[in-house]
Amino acid sequence: MTINSFEAFCLISIFILPGFIVNSIIDYTNPPKKYKEVVFILKSIGYSIINCAIWSWLYLFIIKYDGINNVFRFILLVCVSLISSTIIGLIIAKTKQRNVIDAFLAKLHIKTIHGTPTAWDYYFSKLKCDFVIITLIDDTQLFGWYSSESFTSSDPEERDIYVEKAYRFENEQWILDEEGNGFYVPKDQIKMIEFKKGVDDSAEKNL
C-alpha cells in the first residue's frame, strides 16, 4: 500500500496541523509550560485526534464528495482544519483560564496540581494594574505603575520586567516622573517585587 501526495497532504491537514494550532493558541493565551519536544508532539497529535473526532463528519463529506477536484478538496480540508482547530483551541484556552476542570474536581473533593508553572506566571497573567515596588539585589528600590503597556517575560529563562511609568515615593506619596518613559529591569537584578493597589489618575498618589 502506497500513499500518494494528495493523501499525504490530507493526512497532514487532518492529523497534524490542528494539534499544532490548538497547542499554539493554548500557549499564547495561558502561561506556557516548558515541554520536551516529544511531549509537545504527542500533545499535538492528541489535540488533532480530538479535533478530528468532533469534525469527522465534515472531513468525510469533503473527502467523499465527487463534485470538486483534488486541489480544491485539499484547500477545503486545510480551511476546515484551521477554523475547527482555532475554535477548539479557544474553548480549551478559556476553560484553562477559568479553571473549570479544577473547580469541577474540587467539588468532587479531588485535589489537583495547578496548571500554571510558576507564581510569576500565575500573578502576572491575572494582573491588570497595580503600583509596584521592585527591590534590586543591591537593595535599591524602584517605584512604578504596572498596567497594559508594561510587560513581563513568560520565558522561564528570561524573567525580566518593563514597567510603563516610573514614580518616586516621597513623604508617603507616589509622585509621577513625568519626564520618564518607564523602566526596564533584567532578571538577574530583581530581588523582590511588591504590589500596591491604587488608581493612576494623578501625579501624586497616596500609598
- Residue 18 CA to residue 20 CA, distance in Å, equals 6
- CA triple 25-30-32, angle to 5 deg: 90
Q: Assign domain 119-206 to its CATH architecture.
A: Roll (2.30)
- Is 162 in contact with 182 (CB distance < 8 Å)? yes
Q: Which helix (H) or strand (E) holds 184?
A: strand 183-185
Which of 184, 134, 179, 136 shows the shortest CA–CA distance to 158?
184
**Average per-residue pLDDT for the chain:** 81
Is the whole model's pTM more than 0.75, yes or no? no
At residue 206, the pLDDT reads 44
- Tell me the per-residue pLDDT of 154-168, one tens digit each, with 9 for 90 and over: 777 778 999 999 998
**Distance, first Cα to last Cα, the chain:** 74
- CA triple 124-154-112, angle to 5 deg: 70
At residue 12, the pLDDT reads 74
Instruction: Give the pLDDT band (50/70/90) at residue 32.
Output: low
Q: How far is CA 53 from the centre of its chain?
A: 25
- Tell me the per-residue pLDDT of 91-141, one tens digit each, with 9 for 90 and over: 988 888 777 777 777 777 777 666 666 777 777 777 778 899 999 999 999
Q: How far, CA to CA in Å, does 142 sit from each of 94, 180, 194?
A: 35, 13, 10
Instruction: Give the pLDDT band (50/70/90) at residue 1.
Output: very low
Write down the domain spans for the chain: 5-104, 119-206
Beta pairing, strands 173-176 & 183-185: unpaired
- Residue 112 CA to residue 5 CA, distance in Å, equals 45
- Is 136 in contact with 185 (CB distance < 8 Å)? yes
Which of 149, 146, 151, 136 shows the shortest CA–CA distance to 174?
146
DSSP for 4-44, please give it: -HHHHHHHHHHHTHHHHHHHHHHHHHSPPP---HHHHHHHH
Instruction: Give the pLDDT band (50/70/90) at residue 153.
Output: confident
At residue 91, the pLDDT reads 92
Instruction: Give the pLDDT band (50/70/90) at residue 34.
Output: low
- Residue 154 CA to residue 150 CA, distance in Å, equals 13
